[in-house]
Structure 1
Amino acid sequence: MYPLQNTEGKSGPRILFIDYCMMDFDTVRFTDLLKMFFIMTDILMIADDNIAISGEQLIINFQNIPASFFLQFTPEIFKKMTVCWGTAYPLRIKLCLCINAPLLVEKLYNTVCKPLMSKKIQNRVHVYSSQNMEKAYTHLPKPLFPERFGGHNGSHTTLTMEWKRTVENYRGWVMEDSSYKSNEKLRPNKPKTCNEEFGMEGTFRKLNLD
């Protein structure tokens, strides 16, 4: 999980690459990855003008992810993620490309997850299986992908080590930032709750996967 070096033009959105196939799925939870993603975003908002001004583009590699891992990706977590991503953060999400996804995940995204998103996010999030990989290049030119995907945008080893050093340099700031939160006892009228902000209304009575 790291930012790529080059963008579409000098003032283009920052491209973030997230590679799940490098994870130890026996010890890493999906919520851990979300936390790391938001930490990365927080740091880049401070240190990177491209993401602060022009927004971000995501490339997420789903290759070799076990099916059990996707079971952690519940509608409730998905809604919390999209609210934080699409509403709370002062960033423009220009693109999210999920590549090498299992065919079932591609289908579930289009039938279950996509309806939970705003129209703006629907138009910017795309999930493609390995069979449809070429479609991803219609959204982001192939040279802007990492080298291991046929692009010219840095090597995995180099970018991983550079980003690891960056995160370590911000360790104190991240630890301090995690201590801040709202004091709902001081809010006028009714306090806000997690259920109120992120609760799942309605029921899922029928899933049409055809």
Structure 2
Amino acid sequence: MAKIRTLVPELAEVARSQLGEESSKMVAKIEALRTWIAEQSYLEARTDDQFLVAFLRFCHWDVEVAKKRVLFYYTYKSKERELLKGRLVDDKLMELARSGIFATLPNPIGPGGPRIHFTRMGHIEPSKHSVTEIFRFHAFRAEIELNTDDNWNVSGVVEIMDFTKIPYSLVLQFDPGMFKRMNAFLEHGIPANLVATHIVNASRETQFVLGLIRNVMKQKELLHIHSNLESLQKAIGKEYLPVEMGGENGTLADAVSRYETQLTGFSTYFKEDERYGVDEKLRAASEKEQAPLVSGLPSDGTFRKLNFD
């Protein structure tokens, strides 16, 4: 029997109907993925049931697709140390956790619904918080959720972003090439779906720019721009918003405190995580005459040639 958390009935139904989860096949598929990982001399990865099942659920229990995602996940973490700046819970990460910028709300959108992330853009201080540091925070939070949050893994996540007093200097930090590198991890590595992004309290100028961005997005329906709080409340459901936004889903201060405790509790986990990753020299030798597992990965195994488009 697989050592994983039992899903609440509503979430179990989502896993069954939308992800193709069958309890009778779970153990065999988890073992197949674990065996494959053990056979790859160049790959050192976590193999506990709960970790592997997160990837399998995201990949609708297709073991071959899960192999690709696990490999990308660890390839990225090995190669992009400049962005992730190591995997230790350091002072800068704790500073962001305490800043009040980010909050994970306690209740998802219904028992079988997606998790809710809330971001207060106006709390970001560009002199203290760089775009890459913010990305690193998201990567660490995603790793914690991968291990602890079934709603996040099964039903995805809804992002709510309050653009009140967003610092313009932060926008100037964005670089298209850097954004593509950061987005690759969220799109191809982390096993969770972005269900929607809701933006509220944006200035007219910002709304115009966001509208242009939405026009070139592949999935335009994911981005929702609300002209006022009432529009957001109607779209999400007032009961699922934080108290500070007129809702009933806990306070942002409590959410920040709760995450700080959680992050501290994962310090050992992230310290251990330093030993996991991909050895490119071993991979080059192992896959020299084999077709690559990750789409876009050349036969020499170099990560910098990955196509993120």
TM-score between the two structures when normalised by the length of structure 1: 0.80
> 1:197 is matched with which residue?
307
* Residue in structure 2 matching 1:25, options 126, 131, 141: 126
> 1:124 is matched with which residue?
222
Rate the CA distance shift 1:152–1:178 in 2: closer, same or farther, 3 A: farther
Rate the CA distance shift 1:34–1:110 in 2: closer, same or farther, 3 A: same
Correspondence list, 1:120-159, <5 A: 122-128=220-226, 131-159=227-255
* Contact map agreement 1:76 1:198 (CA 8 A) in 2: no
Q: Which deviates more, 19-28 or 139-148?
A: 19-28
Q: Secondary structure at the match of 2:166?
A: coil
In structure 2, runs of 5+ residues without a counterpart are 1-101, 288-298
* Contact map agreement 1:15 1:56 (CA 8 A) in 2: yes
* Contact map agreement 1:25 1:69 (CA 8 A) in 2: yes
Rate the CA distance shift 1:16–1:178 in 2: closer, same or farther, 3 A: farther
Rate the CA distance shift 1:3–1:135 in 2: closer, same or farther, 3 A: same
Rate the CA distance shift 1:89–1:118 in 2: closer, same or farther, 3 A: farther
Cα distance in 2 for partners of 1:75, 1:162 equals 33
Deviation, structure 1 residue 158? 1.5
Cα distance in 1 for partners of 2:273, 2:199 equals 29
In structure 1, runs of 5+ residues without a counterpart are 200-210
Residue type of the partner of 1:33? I
Rate the CA distance shift 1:150–1:24 in 2: closer, same or farther, 3 A: same
- The alignment yields a C-alpha RMSD, in angstroms, of 2.3
What is the total number of aligned residue pairs between the two structures? 194
Rate the CA distance shift 1:194–1:26 in 2: closer, same or farther, 3 A: same
Q: Secondary structure at the match of 1:153?
A: coil
Cα distance in 2 for partners of 1:111, 1:144 equals 29
* Contact map agreement 2:240 2:248 (CA 8 A) in 1: yes
> 1:208 is matched with which residue?
none
Deviation, structure 1 residue 142? 2.1
Correspondence list, 1:1-210, <5 A: 1-112=102-213, 115=216, 117-119=217-219, 122-128=220-226, 131-178=227-274, 180-185=276-281, 186-187=283-284, 188=287, 189-194=299-304, 196-198=306-308
* Contact map agreement 2:126 2:169 (CA 8 A) in 1: no
Q: Secondary structure at the match of 1:94?
A: strand
Residue type of the partner of 2:200? I
Deviation, structure 1 residue 165? 0.5
TM-score between the two structures when normalised by the length of structure 2: 0.57
Rate the CA distance shift 1:181–1:62 in 2: closer, same or farther, 3 A: farther
